[in-house]
Amino acid sequence: MKKISFTLNGEKRSIDVESNDLLLEVLREKFGLKGPKVACERGDCGACSVLLNGKSVRTCLILAAEVDGQDVVTIEGLSKDTLTPLQESFLKHNSFQCGFCAPGMTITATELLNKNPNPTEEEVKEAISGNLCRCTGYTPIIEAILDVKKK
């Protein structure tokens, strides 16, 4: 067991973890944050994405011990007070169907818009190409992300 301390959704948190505990397991099972989803467990699909120091990462590929002293934001952290403009846009475009990819997709698109507030359609497609969605054909997701920059 190792004690780690880090910022989780804006709040200082400490917890004991095993050296082989995955960040995904710790977020879901120990902190009860169920936004990041268990889906492929090998970094293929992006459903477990969170922001680590502002960059989207796959929590199924990261050990919890690695985030000691760092800053982690999950979908719950984004949704805290009011919806972000991106979430408002997803809502307006009815972007998601089954919704299982939505938390990871939202994290990845948030990173994109933070880095590049005016992405082209190609840049949007490229940015979310590691986040798999089986339902939507991506079109309503891409349209929503592009629509954020217009405002």
Partner 1 sequence: MEEYKYVGKPVDRLDEKEKVTGAAQYVDDIEFGPNLLYGEIVESPYPHALIKSIDTSEAEKVEGVVKVVTGKDFPYKFGLYMKDRYIFAQDRVRFIGEQVAAVIARDQKTAINAAKLVKVEYEPLTPVFDPIEALKEDAPVIHPELGNYSHVPWYFPKGGTNVAHQMKLRKGNIEKGFKDADFVFEDTYRIPRYAHACLETHIAVAHLDYSGRLTVWSSSQSPYTQRNLFADALAPLGFSHKDIRVITPYVGGGFGGKAGVTMEIIAVALAIAAKGHPVKLRWRRDQEFYNTYMRQQVITKLKVGVKKDGTITGFEMANYWDAGPYAEYGANVVNASGLSATGPYRIPNIKIDSYCIYTNLPAAGPYRGFGYSEMLFSVESHMDRIAKLIGMDSVEFRRRNGIKEGDSVAYGVPMNPSGLLEAIDKTAKEIEWGKKETSSDPNKVIGKGFAIFWKAPAMPPNVSSTAFIKFNEDGSLNIIVSGMEIGQGYLTAMAQIAAEILTVPPEKIRVELPDTDRNPYHWQTVASHVTWANGNAVKRAAIEVRNKIFDIVHQAYHYEKDSLYLEDEKVKCKLHSSFELPFKDFVIGGIQTEDGTYRGGAIVGSGSFMPEFTSAVQDPETGQGGHPNVHYTVGAGAVKIEIDKQTGKVRILKAVEALDAGKAINPMNVKHQIYGGLLQGFATALYEDMRFDENGKILNPNFTDYKIPTSLDIPDEFVPIIVEVPQPDGPFGARGIAEHTMIPAAPIIANAVEDALGIRIKSMPITAEKIAMAILNGKKEVDEFLMIMKK
**Which residues here bind partner 1, judged by CB under 8 A?**
32, 34-35, 37-42, 44-45, 47, 74-76, 79, 83, 87, 90-92, 94-103, 106, 124-126, 128-142
Q: Decide: 138 and 96 in contact? Cβ < 8 Å.
A: no
Residue 92 parent element (H or E): helix 85-93
The residue among 6 and 49 lying less far from partner 1, judged by its C-beta, is 49
How do beta strands 2-8 and 71-73 pair?
parallel
CB of 4 vs partner 1, minimal distance in Å: 20
CA angle, 111 then 114 then 120, to 5°: 85
CB of 126 vs partner 1, minimal distance in Å: 7
Rounded to whole angstroms, how far apart are CA atoms 93 and 61?
Answer: 31
Residue owning tokens 């698109």:
109
CB of 15 vs partner 1, minimal distance in Å: 17
Helix axes 139-150, 85-93, angle to 10 degrees: 130
CB of 120 vs partner 1, minimal distance in Å: 13
The residue among 56 and 131 lying less far from partner 1, judged by its C-beta, is 131
The residue among 66 and 100 lying less far from partner 1, judged by its C-beta, is 100
CB of 43 vs partner 1, minimal distance in Å: 9
Rounded to whole angstroms, how far apart are CA atoms 75 and 22?
Answer: 18
The residue among 21 and 62 lying less far from partner 1, judged by its C-beta, is 21
The residue among 71 and 130 lying less far from partner 1, judged by its C-beta, is 130
